[in-house]
């Protein structure tokens, strides 16, 4: 290689290094930017209503940070209330931590407890360490150990798929159940 080739190669490497060094924060991908929260709330209480004026989702949290560019809210001690189409409380779900992705889904982590609030609910309590709520498809999902209880049975398994609007749940793997006759 000639001296001129080495010279141009060195200039190219120097230019590339300078370009990386002086690159502005706007050029950094969204996943690497640090966003300050758009708002912080303590003792947050929120209820969403449908077009008929009936509640369909409620949210409470001891602490919440909302990030508008990411369309998400990070919460401590969240409680999510899900209502039936006629506005009656259907499920109460709580956990240690949670993330709400606006109008899409929610993820609950750590000591997740679900309580069926309808008098004829098939599941009275649900406990796990991780639970996803899919608001688009009205589903509950988990890939962790799950325990379901009611007055007539107790079931344990790994993985869960539930349909909120149909009030059904399915344990996916390693299911063990004990039934009690009244």
| % of the chain residues with pLDDT over 70 | 87
> What confidence score (pLDDT) does residue 25 get?
47
> What confidence score (pLDDT) does residue 170 get?
86
- pLDDT, tens digit, 9 for 90 and up, residues 99-138: 998 778 999 999 999 998 888 888 889 999 999 999 888 8
* DSSP-derived secondary structure letter, 122: S
> What confidence score (pLDDT) does residue 180 get?
80
- pLDDT, tens digit, 9 for 90 and up, residues 161-171: 988 877 788 88
Distance CA 97, CA 130 (A): 10
pLDDT-based confidence at 1, cuts 50/70/90? Answer: low
Average the pLDDT over each of 64-68, 75-79, 117-121, 142-146 and give the range with the smallest value.
117-121
Residues 6 or more apart in contact with residue 138 via CB below 8 angstroms: 163, 164, 165
Most confident of 2-6, 75-79, 135-139: 75-79
> What confidence score (pLDDT) does residue 18 get?
66
Dig out the tokens for 135 from the structure: 């608001």
Domain segments of the chain as ranges? 37-179
Q: What is 37-179's CATH topology?
A: lipopolysaccharide transport protein A fold (2.60.450)
Predicted TM-score (pTM) of the model is 0.76
**Which regions of 50-152 does DSSP assign to beta strands (E)?**
55-67, 72-76, 79-83, 89-94, 97-101, 105-116, 125-134, 139-149
Chain mean pLDDT for the chain = 84
- pLDDT, tens digit, 9 for 90 and up, residues 33-65: 577 888 899 999 999 998 999 998 899 999 999
């Amino acid at each position: 290689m000639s001296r001129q080739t080495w010279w141009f190669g060195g200039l190219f490497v120097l230019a590339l290094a300078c370009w990386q060094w002086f690159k502005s924060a706007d050029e950094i991908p969204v996943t690497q930017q640090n966003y300050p929260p758009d708002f912080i709330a303590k003792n947050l209480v929120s209820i969403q209503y449908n077009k008929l004026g009936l509640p369909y989702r409620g949210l409470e949290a001891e602490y919440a940070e909302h990030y508008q560019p990411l369309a998400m809210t990070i919460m401590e001690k969240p409680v999510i209330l899900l209502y039936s189409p006629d506005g009656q409380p259907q499920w109460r779900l709580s956990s240690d931590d949670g993330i709400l992705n606006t109008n899409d889904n929610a993820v609950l982590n750590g000591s997740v407890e679900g309580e069926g609030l309808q008098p004829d609910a098939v599941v009275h309590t649900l406990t796990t360490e991780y639970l996803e709520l899919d608001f688009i498809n009205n589903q509950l999902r988990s890939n962790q150990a799950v325990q379901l209880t009611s007055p007539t049975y107790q079931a344990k398994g790994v993985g869960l798929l539930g349909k909120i609007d149909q009030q059904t749940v399915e344990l996916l793997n390693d299911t063990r159940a004990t039934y009690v006759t009244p």
